[in-house]
Amino acid sequence: MKFIGKSVEKIDGMAITTGEAVYTDDQCTESYLYVHIVRSPHAFAKIESINVDKALSFRGVESVLTYHDVPNVRFTVAGQSYPEPSPYDRKILDEYVRYVGDPVAIIAADSEATAKKAEKLLRIDYDVLTPVLDPKEAEMSDSKVHPESDLSVHFDFGCDPSKNLAGTYEVGYGKMDEAFESCDVIVENEYSSQAQAHAMMETYRSLSYLDAEGKLTIVSATQIPFHVRRIAAQALEMKEENIRVLKPRIGGGFGGKQTIATELIGALVTMKTGKPARVVYNRKETFSTSSSRHAMHVNIKIGATTDGVIKAIDMQALSDTGAYGEHGWTVLMVAGHKSLPLYNQAVAARYRGKVVYTNKMPAGALRGYGVTQAIFAMESALNELADKLGIDPAELRLKNIIREGDHNPILEGSNEDAAAMLQSCTLNRCIEKGRELIGWNEKFPRQEMGGSKVRGVGMAITMQGSGIAEIDSATAEIVKNSDKSYTLKIGATDMGTGCDTILLQMAADALEVPLNQIEVVTGDTDNMPYDTGSYASSTTYVTGNAVLRAVKDLKMKLKEDVLLPVMGSGTFSGNTSPPPFIAGFAEVEVDTLTGQIALLNYVAAVDCGTVINTNLARIQVEGGLVQGIGMALYEDVQYTSKGRMMTDTFMQYKVPTRRDINDLQIEFVPSYEPTGPAGAKSIGEVVINTPPPAIAHAIANATGVHLRSLPIKPEDLCMAIRHNNAQNNSRVTLIPDLIHEIRMS
């Protein structure tokens, strides 16, 4: 292979670096109406009355829209294939507002200043209701986040608004009680992971206008252009053929742009006024009125024999979806599906969960998609089990992990032979390589550094998937032009990941032509082939397979000596979702007097099948690790007691900077996935999952304190160490309630 496996430069890299790349807002002109969203000051309320007369008559105001002016249609903003496994619980504007920041009215004006002055002229009366803010109390609360009678679902996934339930899920195998009875050692704990913001560079934004033929055109920084078109048609009561979605360059998404944010608002204004409209969220709106990771509490019970054979795993999750249920059930489901198969020696494994409504900003898709939360619990419990057994945690994993050729009933797919059997896996070699790179044998578990400084090492492993089996699909087209050049048309969305580049590499290798002989075009629902979108770690695997099929089709047609130009096309929708794997290792230094934590080194050994582009894959790993480090130590979406988000700027919401990150060592340990393009699997999401449990483990080894709630803050660790010393215990475990008790004392 001439190009696959090589560090080909990102084809749009220079344009992005020099500022030549065109993003959504770069296409805006003075003719666009400025759209301002009036938002709820209450976590839960019903709009009793709203008077727009004075605002509408204010000079420069074009339109003021309320819930009286929108289609009476409920839908979901989740970018998922139809029929979506998310409740239809939203309207563009509703008489109920369900979190601080929920839209109340839409003002379209000639400027931002005009719109904000007009907002002050609105007269709005609210019936303020009691909000549901604690997910553990949601099911029994007298307040119902969704009291409406027209909420609907496509199929039964346990959605019950009368109990504030957005969904339930259960999967498993084996006889649980018997399995635990055969165990000599059992660990059972609760682990809590927080809501996390996407914190992408480009905020949410879209433009809308009517083209020369009257077609509604939406220009959007989105991961899901084809889903945007379908959802817009539904919400606006239009035909899909009358809507076109254009996707320019995207300044990051991380899953946030798999959920519709601005598109429907601008499109509604355009359809009501006939004029082009611009909606751009500022940073506060992006933090507080879009979506976040689902905060999740996971109870886990793991049992093993004294020689370290894991017999039973039982997990139970409670997930907070916030005010609306988009992605709620699928995040809950994926958390179990992509964590339980890791430990294949278990004769019984079960995962149960509930996702509940609360009056907070909705949760949605975020890199890792539930697996991040589940892996924090799973791997933390495994490390505590190893401690209790007196077995090296690396050895405990090597004894119990799934391996190539193994079968597991929870692996995805409908083809029983292909789905149940793992066809590619170097996880065992990843563990061995990772502990070699971190110096595990020399450093585990801790090193005294003198004074109050102590160092510890920790580890975790993870898996993910490659697209959604039997749901995600992609079509690619490749045209041989009359000048012997080629045009590759794809519907996938490059949001900075470099997918345009790696798909070009695949096509060039298959065609045996230079890279510069192929042009990649994308981002237009009218002119590009269908693709479900860039999410679920699908692009390399799903769209890559479609590209190779398109090239194969083209080559067959060229053999028939047909006249130029000629086009080949290929479609792929797999019945399996082959998992990539990572073994992650952390080394930290802790000041036991202050609780200050310094991450000295992080090692990731990665199995993503065949590595298509070494540099781009490495960047994906580095970026995901840093996000995971942020979740472990810094990032935390916080609310007041009345439900207002406090962390709505980068001054309050802390993400890691370069000064917080020391060494990142990344080593690829390739496997060959027979169903993947050139043997490749995904890499986009799996990279975020190991830092939280690995860092927590390293801190526990350094200090003797297990903290089971993220993020791990110096003040919490300091108090825990002092509590441990006061109790004169060699090791102590702290759950969130105990941390709260210490703070209060």
Task: Say which amino acid occupies 523.
Answer: G
Considering the domain architecture, whether residues 644 and 658 belong to the same structural domain is answered as yes
Cα 632 to Cα 98: distance, rounded to the nearest angstrom:
29
Give yes or no for residue 739 having a pLDDT over 60.
no
> Which residues, other chains included, contact 287 with Cβ-Cβ below 8 Å and sequence gap of 6+?
197, 645, 647, 648, 649, 653
Cα 635 to Cα 651: distance, rounded to the nearest angstrom:
12
Taking the mean position of all CA atoms in its chain, how far away is CA 145?
24
Does some domain include residue 603?
yes
Final residue of a structural domain among 271, 288, 305? 288
Considering the domain architecture, whether residues 117 and 254 belong to the same structural domain is answered as yes
- Name the pLDDT band for 414 (thresholds 50, 70, 90): very low
- What pLDDT, on a 0 to 100 scale, did the predictor assign at position 1? 81
Angle (CA) 37 39 42, round 5°: 175
Token pair in block for residue 329: 């059930």
Considering the domain architecture, whether residues 454 and 554 belong to the same structural domain is answered as no
Task: Say which amino acid occupies 32.
Answer: Y
DSSP letter, residue 23: B
Cα 223 to Cα 198: distance, rounded to the nearest angstrom:
14
- Name the pLDDT band for 741 (thresholds 50, 70, 90): low
What Å distances lie between residue 92 and 105, 151, 358, 671, CA to CA? 10, 14, 19, 46
- What pLDDT, on a 0 to 100 scale, did the predictor assign at position 411? 86
Give yes or no for residue 412 having a pLDDT over 80.
no
- Name the pLDDT band for 559 (thresholds 50, 70, 90): confident
DSSP letter, residue 108: E
Average the pLDDT over 197-205 and give the result: 97
Please answer whether residues 695 and 586 qualify as being in contact, where contact means their C-beta atoms are separated by less than 8 angstroms: yes
Final residue of a structural domain among 288, 318, 341? 288
User: What does the pLDDT look like over 362-401, one tens digit per residue?
Assistant: 999 999 999 999 999 999 999 999 999 999 999 999 999 9
- Name the pLDDT band for 561 (thresholds 50, 70, 90): low
Give yes or no for residue 742 having a pLDDT over 60.
no
Q: Residue ranges of the alpha helices (H) in 338-370?
A: none
Considering the domain architecture, whether residues 312 and 432 belong to the same structural domain is answered as yes
Please answer whether residues 75 and 231 qualify as being in contact, where contact means their C-beta atoms are separated by less than 8 angstroms: yes
Give yes or no for residue 670 having a pLDDT over 60.
yes
- What pLDDT, on a 0 to 100 scale, did the predictor assign at position 329? 98
Does some domain include residue 154?
no
* End-to-end CA gap in the chain: 64
Does some domain include residue 167?
no
- What pLDDT, on a 0 to 100 scale, did the predictor assign at position 413? 54
Cα 438 to Cα 6: distance, rounded to the nearest angstrom:
26
Does some domain include residue 478?
yes
Is the CA virtual torsion 512, 505, 500, 370 positive or negative? positive
Considering the domain architecture, whether residues 638 and 731 belong to the same structural domain is answered as yes
Task: Quote the mean pLDDT of the chain.
Answer: 95
- What pLDDT, on a 0 to 100 scale, did the predictor assign at position 376? 98
Task: Say which amino acid occupies 679.
Answer: G
Please answer whether residues 259 and 292 qualify as being in contact, where contact means their C-beta atoms are separated by less than 8 angstroms: no
Considering the domain architecture, whether residues 500 and 642 belong to the same structural domain is answered as no
Give yes or no for residue 298 having a pLDDT over 50.
yes
What is this structure's pTM? 0.96
- What pLDDT, on a 0 to 100 scale, did the predictor assign at position 226? 98
- What pLDDT, on a 0 to 100 scale, did the predictor assign at position 417? 52
Domain limits at 214?
A: 24-129+199-288
- What pLDDT, on a 0 to 100 scale, did the predictor assign at position 560? 81
Considering the domain architecture, whether residues 608 and 559 belong to the same structural domain is answered as no
- What pLDDT, on a 0 to 100 scale, did the predictor assign at position 415? 47
Does some domain include residue 17?
no
Strands (E), 545-596: 566-572, 581-591
- Percent share of the chain, pLDDT over 70: 96
Give yes or no for residue 143 having a pLDDT over 80.
yes
Average the pLDDT over 335-339 and give the result: 97
Does some domain include residue 2?
no
Beta strand pairing call for 581-591 and 453-463? antiparallel
Looking up residue 267, the CATH number of its domain turns out to be 3.90.1170.50
Please answer whether residues 51 and 37 qualify as being in contact, where contact means their C-beta atoms are separated by less than 8 angstroms: no
Average the pLDDT over 650-661 and give the result: 95
Looking up residue 548, the CATH number of its domain turns out to be 3.30.365.10
Does some domain include residue 153?
no
Considering the domain architecture, whether residues 412 and 480 belong to the same structural domain is answered as no
- What pLDDT, on a 0 to 100 scale, did the predictor assign at position 728? 66
Give yes or no for residue 274 having a pLDDT over 60.
yes
What Å distances lie between residue 354 and 31, 238, 316, 334, 341, CA to CA? 48, 35, 8, 13, 20
Considering the domain architecture, whether residues 235 and 276 belong to the same structural domain is answered as yes
Please answer whether residues 430 and 582 qualify as being in contact, where contact means their C-beta atoms are separated by less than 8 angstroms: yes
Taking the mean position of all CA atoms in its chain, how far away is CA 293?
7
Average the pLDDT over 221-227 and give the result: 97
User: What does the pLDDT look like over 477-514, one tens digit per residue?
Assistant: 999 999 989 999 999 999 989 999 999 999 999 999 99
Considering the domain architecture, whether residues 299 and 272 belong to the same structural domain is answered as no
Considering the domain architecture, whether residues 367 and 488 belong to the same structural domain is answered as no
Final residue of a structural domain among 572, 601, 622? 572
Give yes or no for residue 565 having a pLDDT over 90.
no
How many domains is the chain partitioned into structurally? 3
Nearest C-alpha neighbor of 11 from the set 1, 2, 21: 21
Give yes or no for residue 416 having a pLDDT over 60.
no
- Name the pLDDT band for 745 (thresholds 50, 70, 90): very low
Q: Between helices 263-273 and 225-235, what is the axis angle to 10°?
A: 50
Considering the domain architecture, whether residues 246 and 388 belong to the same structural domain is answered as no
Nearest C-alpha neighbor of 62 from the set 72, 52, 71: 52
Does some domain include residue 190?
no
